[in-house]
Amino acid sequence: MSVWRRSGCGSDIVNALRLNLSHMLHERSDSDAVHRFAQEAMKHRRWAARRASTDLCGRTTRGRLPEDVDCWVSASVGAPWLLASALTDERGRYAPVYFVDRAVYALTQREFFGATADLHLPPRTFSRVGVAVVVARPGHRSSQLEVAGPFEWTSEQQHAERALEMLLQRHATQLLVARALWAAPFEVTNPQECG
């Protein structure tokens, strides 16, 4: 077993963060890269804890916000408390958001970042899904909504999951996921890629 585990106050979150980042970065969980990203993510977590009930001034959008989705797939990254308002259209229509990292009673095992992860995913009854995150822009004064899709959930689920992977990788230093999505770090699930 690798030496990535810590003990003490907040250690469960740090351990989960390092395990998750190892998969997102395709690095050993005890690597310098994972350590640096985890430090930045913990710094963002502290900022988010102070700002969770407030809005950031202004928002930009990256991608086209589709109008015809049944639900959204996202993860706890950036400023997830702003996602619902960002995705409510001008007519007040709102589609539910499924955060893949939520610890719920029904998790689905899917390949995510190249290894089997336990994810909270929408049921197959939804036909069209969008992928979205809201992240803090540099300086943490404004936010950016990033969207992909829509995807036909029954035939393009893998494409939607890859789109979410890209968004998470792009904003890994703002990761707020508090539970391990995988059973083991990247060096255990993918030893051939760790050298």
Domain boundaries, the chain: 11-185
pLDDT of 53 higher than 70:
no
Q: Report how far Cα 60 is from the mean position of its chain's Cα atoms.
A: 19
pTM of the predicted model over 0.85: yes
pLDDT tens column, 81-109: 888 888 886 567 788 999 999 888 789 99
Supply the pLDDT for residue 142: 84
Ranking 46-55, 129-138, 166-175, 185-194 by mean pLDDT, the lowest is 46-55
How far lies 164's CA from each of 27, 54, 136, 139, 172, in Å? Answer: 19, 25, 17, 24, 12
